[in-house]
Structure 1
Amino acid sequence: MARKLAKTSPLNIPPESPSNIPPEIIEIILLKLSSVKSLLRFKAVSKSWNTLISDPLFIQNHLQSSNNSSDNLFLMRFTNYSGKGFCLVKLEGQDFDTEAILKSPYGCNMILCECNGVLLVGDSTYKCSRKYVLWNPSTRKEIYFDCPCALFDKDEMLNPGICYDPITGDFKVVLIGSGSYAIYSCKNNSWTEKKLGIRYTGTTCHGIFVDGATYWRLFHYNENNAELLYFDPRTDELKTLQKPEQVKYDGGSVFIGVACLRGNLCLYVTTRDFGAQKIQIWIKEKGIRLGENPNWKELITITENVPTRTLWFKPLCFVGNEILIQSVFTGFLYYSPSEKTFEVFDKSCTNRVIPFRNSLYF
């Protein structure tokens, strides 16, 4: 088996003399392979290759290498598919070219959130569905689980998120309700319920996993205020994150959301004032510091050429030096910070779209 894989391998490493190449050089070469399928095959070359590719540090470094690549791959629900599935597409300029059709696990057709290339998917067919699947589309591995009915009211809107604990190697799914939250441990196949000190309401918000924690924007129940919350997998606690002092929420004239841009947590704010619209994007400093106020840096303030109806506006990622944005009303847009201009290029897609990352996790 080792000889056969080596002959077809693009690495062209002779199986008879693997020791001729230093292990650190082999690791560098393997890290440059974006294909998870190839890496899984290469685990059969030798025990040392299997140990290397299975090492958590290698998996993390490979994911980081995938993050830094310019593949511009995205996942979206494929509405033209006769069954339930997702479409892997590549963004080339202003066109989405289909790379592959992926069959959805357990018939789920809705992408909820992502963490280290692992997706939480659900079924949009049923209102307030409590059926979930953790799925890595790169390795085609999945885990199906149900949220116990006793944890939340039947019609309660839940705010899902995924977090990864690097110490225990555990993926944790967090579901935030109006007055409590539940944590599902993938490693232990168990649920933990915790109470919140305040009630939250509003439309469902999906958590964003950034820099070791998962973040949400939620609204107070019976209060005119929006809060940023984060879940720390080291303590399993849900905490409040202070917003930039300049950001004030006053209901209908301000929209606040969270996103991830180049590995940083971003807070984006749309303000409508006497018909004029302004968009601000703030970047949070790296690292989790419990009990301390974070440092926020204003990345962009947009006051010119702002498209109308930017309520459901969400930055997705940088494509070159431009920011790719998705809006329910206007489709996909590019924003050029240098030229301060927007460019709409696809008005047809309203499905949730997330950047795709090749990942060995899970």
Structure 2
Amino acid sequence: MEFSQADYMNDDSEGWDDNSPTIFKGFSSAITTQRHCLEKLADYGFKIDAYQNHEFPTHIIREGDKKIKDVVKEHVLPFLPAKSLMRFKAVSKEWDKWIACPLLSHQQSFSCQSFSGYFCQDMKMGWDTETMFLSLDHSTSGVPCPALDFLPEVVKILSSCSGLLLCQGSEKYYVCNPATQDWKMLPLPQCYHGEEPAVALAFEPSLRNIEAYYHVICAFPMLGQPIIGFEIYSSESNTWSCSSAYCTDIENPRLVGGGFYMNGVAYYETKSNEVLAFDVKVEIPAIISLPDQVGRRGSLTQMEGELCYVAANNECGNVFLIDIYQGMEMILKRTVSVNLGPDRSFTQACKVLPCVNSDAVAIHSGQYIHFYHISEQKVESIASSFTMGRGKKFLPYTNSLAMLHELKEP
């Protein structure tokens, strides 16, 4: 495994080039979208008198001689995106050492799960495609090398999960962390996955997952048969294994693009109105039927911790109709009509993009990506250099310091 985190830790965060678009509707800071515990901590004044008057939670002030900088270091830094953390290296040598510490990387990987932006490629360009990163907030979230030039060859992006990316070279798969430029080349699989493999990266940072184990799950059609097989890579053993499970109930065995993983299950869209689900732990496949009317402009997404399928249609002018289907039964939970502006007399094609750890619906239309926040009923937009069209791939990304598991020699 190649490892360049030390070089990354010496980079100035201001030097990161993340191809960030111009934001024209004031996208709110990513820091304010962190977990509720950080928001709760922000309610306390970071002043010496506040600390002395015991305005902080009791679990923070157990040590009577703890300084305010130590409170921030221990209870705020783990909740910040990777790019924001780099700016705090200059506070002191102690902080510089702490931010480079694997323990903080582990804490930050499961504490900071906010949606940071998209990695995107134009897949119609083949191997000549350029990888770009669209940040939702250039000041807080970004990567030092959005083109992924630190990898040993040109790659196609396939799947993302909790700050890690799964990519495909001419023959090999790569798992990398774009924020740290840490990467690992996977061994060759046993089965043929096809030229456009349906693979999902599964990574769940947690207090228990200290070793940062992850899996890659490929769903592939059996040659000449309407059957889907599964092959699973485990970083713990650094091996691929063919699952004994098969899916024979699917209407159309042709799968679309990379997979989507959440809460222990990998999901794959198909050419028919079905979603293939695969429970990674018990290795059991299942079929989720989508409503006939959703068409091909929808997307699987994660909303408020649940699996959703969101479809959108430009009804007239700048008015878009959003349908949100939720749960394993894919029941229509909500229909929203929203004005995405600017005013125009014609309709545009649109495509829903996947989101993670957010209540927002992302709609790609023309040269913009519009985010409709369900709870706030607010629309925010970013400019995209990718115009709406087929073959455009957008992977949701979390700006994480997650470290890749390295298999120890026996």
Q: Normalised by the shorter chain, which TM-score bucket? A: 0.5 to 0.7
Counterpart residue number, 1:197: 247
Q: Which aligned pairs between 1:140-159 and structure 2 lie closer than 5 A?
A: 140-148=181-189, 150-152=190-192, 155=194, 157-159=196-198
Query: Matches of 2:355 and 2:275 in 1, distance apart?
Result: 21
Asked if structure 2 preserves the Cα contact closer than 8 Å seen for 1:265 and 1:283, the reply is yes
Query: Matches of 1:255 and 1:208 in 2, distance apart?
Result: 16
Provide, for residues 46-85 of structure 1, a one-character-per-residue CA deviation record: whole Å limited to 9, x for no partner: 7x9947425x455311x23x44xxxx543334999xx986
Report the 3-state secondary structure (helix = DSSP H, G, I; strand = E; otherwise coil) of the residue aligned with 1:170.
Answer: coil
Aligned counterpart for 1:115 among listed residues 158, 161, 170? 161
Query: Matches of 2:261 and 2:97 in 1, distance apart?
Result: 34
Shift of 1:226: 3.0
Query: Matches of 1:254 and 1:35 in 2, distance apart?
Result: 35
Q: 1:297 to 1:211 in 2, by over 3 A?
A: farther
Asked if structure 1 preserves the Cα contact closer than 8 Å seen for 2:201 and 2:261, the reply is yes
Q: 1:296 to 1:24 in 2, by over 3 A?
A: farther
Query: Matches of 2:307 and 2:135 in 1, distance apart?
Result: 24
Q: 1:204 to 1:164 in 2, by over 3 A?
A: same
Identity between Structure 1 and Structure 2 (%): 16
Counterpart residue number, 1:31: 78
Counterpart residue number, 2:364: 326
Asked if structure 2 preserves the Cα contact closer than 8 Å seen for 1:206 and 1:216, the reply is yes
Counterpart residue number, 2:292: 249
Extract unaligned runs of 5+ from structure 2.
1-8, 13-64, 222-227, 341-345, 405-410
Report the 3-state secondary structure (helix = DSSP H, G, I; strand = E; otherwise coil) of the residue aligned with 1:191.
Answer: strand
Counterpart residue number, 1:229: 276
Query: Matches of 1:344 and 1:138 in 2, distance apart?
Result: 21
Asked if structure 1 preserves the Cα contact closer than 8 Å seen for 2:73 and 2:95, the reply is no
Query: Matches of 2:182 and 2:162 in 1, distance apart?
Result: 14
Higher relative contact order (CA 8 A, sep 6+): 2
Provide, for residues 184-210 of structure 1, a one-character-per-residue CA deviation record: whole Å limited to 9, x for no partner: 112211111124131653353321223
Report the 3-state secondary structure (helix = DSSP H, G, I; strand = E; otherwise coil) of the residue aligned with 2:109.
Answer: helix
Shift of 1:282: 2.0
Shift of 1:294: 6.0
Q: 1:44 to 1:298 in 2, by over 3 A?
A: same
Shift of 1:181: 1.1
The one-letter amino acid of 2:259's match is G
Counterpart residue number, 1:288: none
Aligned counterpart for 2:133 among listed residues 66, 88, 95? 88
TM-score by length of 1: 0.63
Counterpart residue number, 1:267: 309
Q: 1:78 to 1:87 in 2, by over 3 A?
A: farther
Q: 1:302 to 1:347 in 2, by over 3 A?
A: farther
Query: Matches of 1:84 and 1:309 in 2, distance apart?
Result: 23
Q: 1:51 to 1:239 in 2, by over 3 A?
A: same
Q: Between Structure 1 and Structure 2, which shows a larger proportion of strand residues?
A: 1
Q: 1:307 to 1:27 in 2, by over 3 A?
A: farther
Report the 3-state secondary structure (helix = DSSP H, G, I; strand = E; otherwise coil) of the residue aligned with 1:107.
Answer: coil
Query: How many pairs align?
Result: 302
Asked if structure 1 preserves the Cα contact closer than 8 Å seen for 2:78 and 2:107, the reply is no
2:218 is the alignment partner of 1:175: yes
Shift of 1:157: 4.7
Aligned counterpart for 2:199 among listed residues 138, 160, 173? 160
Shift of 1:253: 5.6
Once superposed, what is the RMSD of the aligned Cα atoms?
A: 4.9
Counterpart residue number, 1:300: 335
Query: Matches of 1:76 and 1:130 in 2, distance apart?
Result: 21
Query: Matches of 1:35 and 1:271 in 2, distance apart?
Result: 35
Report the 3-state secondary structure (helix = DSSP H, G, I; strand = E; otherwise coil) of the residue aligned with 1:138.
Answer: coil
Q: 1:98 to 1:360 in 2, by over 3 A?
A: closer
Counterpart residue number, 1:53: 104
Q: Which aligned pairs between 1:206-221 and structure 2 lie closer than 5 A?
A: 206-219=258-271
Shift of 1:325: 1.6
Shift of 1:279: 4.6
Report the 3-state secondary structure (helix = DSSP H, G, I; strand = E; otherwise coil) of the residue aligned with 1:201.
Answer: coil
Asked if structure 2 preserves the Cα contact closer than 8 Å seen for 1:232 and 1:238, the reply is yes
Asked if structure 2 preserves the Cα contact closer than 8 Å seen for 1:117 and 1:359, the reply is yes
Counterpart residue number, 1:133: 174
TM-score by length of 2: 0.57
Query: Matches of 1:180 and 1:190 in 2, distance apart?
Result: 17
Asked if structure 2 preserves the Cα contact closer than 8 Å seen for 1:115 and 1:209, the reply is yes
Query: Matches of 2:152 and 2:164 in 1, distance apart?
Result: 16
